[in-house]
Structure 1
Amino acid sequence: MVDAVMERDDLALTASAHEIEETGEWVFEATCDRPPDVEAFNALAQQVLGGAVEFSVEPIDPEINWVAKSLEGLAPVTAGGFYVYGSHETGPIPAGLTPMKIDAAQAFGTGHHETTTGCLEAIEMLLASTTPQRVIDVGTGTGVLAIAVAKRIGGKILATDIDPIAVMTTIENARENGVADNIDAIEATGLDHSEIAARLPYDLIIANILAGPLTELAPGMGGIAQSGGTAILSGILNTQADGVIAAYELAGFRLVDHLKRKDWTTLVLEKR
């Protein structure tokens, strides 16, 4: 249910579920930035769970950043050779890992979701054999993936997002992680921005968004990618992977790797 809700951007900002050990019942919680569409939640529950779920609506204090609050206290994540942690973490950073301090924010990307860990693992594998020169992170969220690349290879990385809050979050996180000079964060819808055009072709494209937008962007991705360049794509349910692969094959890419983490897919493709 959580994955189904988070696949849609019209229902909730965050969603989570936990089991009550004493009864075996599951509690589902979603945080919305407007009065929730209970009928839509019910319809999704019927579709995903095959039965009715009892939903209740409770108002929240608008002065509290509930997105951040819901993610406070999350344990650090190790993905590939990267160690992603929040400022609440006081333990030592494990030796041999590249640390990134990413606090919960009003943007996607704390390292805990399978789409982010899949991308970090794909980045780790790619950087073991090559050093990209022109990198773009489309839909950067907190900037975690752009920061990962910057901390490993330096250089200049273009990070874009449709959400101005995500752009500001990326700038702040880049500064916090000591790579502010390496990351240029801009507000852009898709690939439609003069700064994106000015820097092409790209030999590494990263996009952790959703299957629908990724499919729509496929022709444009093919247009900005350098021959032999790599695209790392995620935000894709395993059931959606074949459709995304087909769209990118039509755009001139070939599939190199297909990483599956629970219900989620990360694709590594090469521009032919």
Structure 2
Amino acid sequence: MSWKVTAFAPRNVIQAALIAHEDAWDWDHDIVIAGSEIAEDKPDDWQLEAWMDRKPSKADRAAIAGLFAADAPELVTEKLPDTDWVTLSQQGVEPIREGVFHVHTPEYSPVNQHGVRDFVIPASQAFGTGQHATTAGCLAMLTHMKRQGVRVRNLADIGTGTGLLGFAGLHLWPTARAIASDIDAVCGPVVAENAANNGMVLGDGPGRMAMVIAAGMEHPLLEAAGPYDLLIANILAGPLVELAPDFARAVVPGGSVLLAGLLETQEATVRAAYRRAGLRLAARMVRGDWSILWLRRRATGEALRR
């Protein structure tokens, strides 16, 4: 038997709760969270849904309520019929089709089109509302970078979650070496499972991706594997600002940093931090309320353009 807890609130309140969920390092991963519009004709009325395969305890409800910065909305608990609750949590999660990529949950089929790379990623791992939009933007920007002639021999995906963006980078630059990291230890087996399901190879060497558990750049393998031609970080605005000097030092002169996970209203603050660290904007995209930024480190002797 599975259960669902639902909270109804305005869009900005639900989105803030989803961001808090993504930043909750001690979250119980048996509780799957998603946010969505209640109806197409009411775009500002949203719901947060939490699925689990047990009756919600007081601690479970407190954890869900704790995602809301102010007073939490009323939590509605319901028992669901016998079903696969993970599959239920994936219903209505549309595939991402951006750039040369098609990313879908297991309930959808691959497109099997020439020139399109299919990835299958369970929604319970990667498709919170903000994550869906920022992932799509990153896939579009990576495709744009490739078409602009960016060459990558060494890449890092910081805060990888599922491994998807690292996998996408290796698809575009198949001879590159890659390393992915996340602060959450549960991501290690998740990345391994997703690599196996998508024909990606883990480990060290060209066309392979190593995986480490680390906060920011604080891991010996991350230091040893650098400097990088491309560093990807789809995390949150606060950590992006804090890590700007570390990211700048980790890329080669002329190298690229791809940032996501920041709201458009947070973009000026993030860009200012990276400008101070010696990176300038190469391109930007907006997906919904979210900004995706491609920044480049100054080449040696290059004047910084404001």
Shorter-chain TM band: 0.7 to 0.9
Instruction: Choose 14-23 or 198-207, whichever is displaced more.
Output: 14-23
State the alpha-carbon separation in 2 of the partners of residues 29 and 224 from structure 1: 37
Higher normalized strand content (fraction of residues): 2
- The letter for the 1-side match of 2:101 is F
- The letter for the 1-side match of 2:247 is M
- 2:55 is equivalent to residue 28 of structure 1: no
How many residue pairs match? The answer is 263
Residue 151 of structure 2 corresponds to which residue in structure 1?
A: 131
Secondary structure of 1:189's counterpart equals: coil
| TM score, norm. by length of structure 1 | 0.84
State the alpha-carbon separation in 2 of the partners of residues 228 and 203 from structure 1: 8
- 2:167 is equivalent to residue 141 of structure 1: no
- 2:253 is equivalent to residue 227 of structure 1: yes
Superposed displacement of residue 35, structure 1: 2.7
Which residue, out of 58, 62, 65, partners 2:77? 58
Residue 265 of structure 1 corresponds to which residue in structure 2?
A: 291
Residue 120 of structure 1 corresponds to which residue in structure 2?
A: 139
Instruction: Choose 205-214 or 120-129, whichever is displaced more.
Output: 120-129
Q: CA offsets, 1:21-61, max 9 Å, x none?
A: 8999945123288333648738278xxxxxxxx51242779
State the alpha-carbon separation in 1 of the partners of residues 129 and 274 from structure 2: 27
Which residue, out of 179, 184, 198, partners 1:177? 198
State the alpha-carbon separation in 1 of the partners of residues 119 and 93 from structure 2: 14
Q: CA offsets, 1:172-200, max 9 Å, x none?
A: 11122112141111111111000001011
Instruction: Choose 199-208 or 164-173, whichever is displaced more.
Output: 164-173
| TM score, norm. by length of structure 2 | 0.75
User: Runs of 5+ in structure 2 lacking a partner?
Assistant: 1-10, 52-58, 203-207, 299-306
- The letter for the 2-side match of 1:43 is A
Q: CA offsets, 1:90-135, max 9 Å, x none?
A: 3642332111122223456899711111111110011121220110
Secondary structure of 2:107's counterpart equals: coil
Change in Cα spacing, 1:244 to 1:28, as seen in structure 2 (3 Å) is: same
State the alpha-carbon separation in 1 of the partners of residues 129 and 38 from structure 2: 23
Secondary structure of 1:96's counterpart equals: coil
Residue 33 of structure 2 corresponds to which residue in structure 1?
A: 14
Residue 4 of structure 1 corresponds to which residue in structure 2?
A: 16
Percent of aligned positions with the same letter in both sequences? 34
State the alpha-carbon separation in 2 of the partners of residues 190 and 6 from structure 1: 21
The RMSD of aligned alpha carbons is 3.2
- The letter for the 1-side match of 2:224 is A
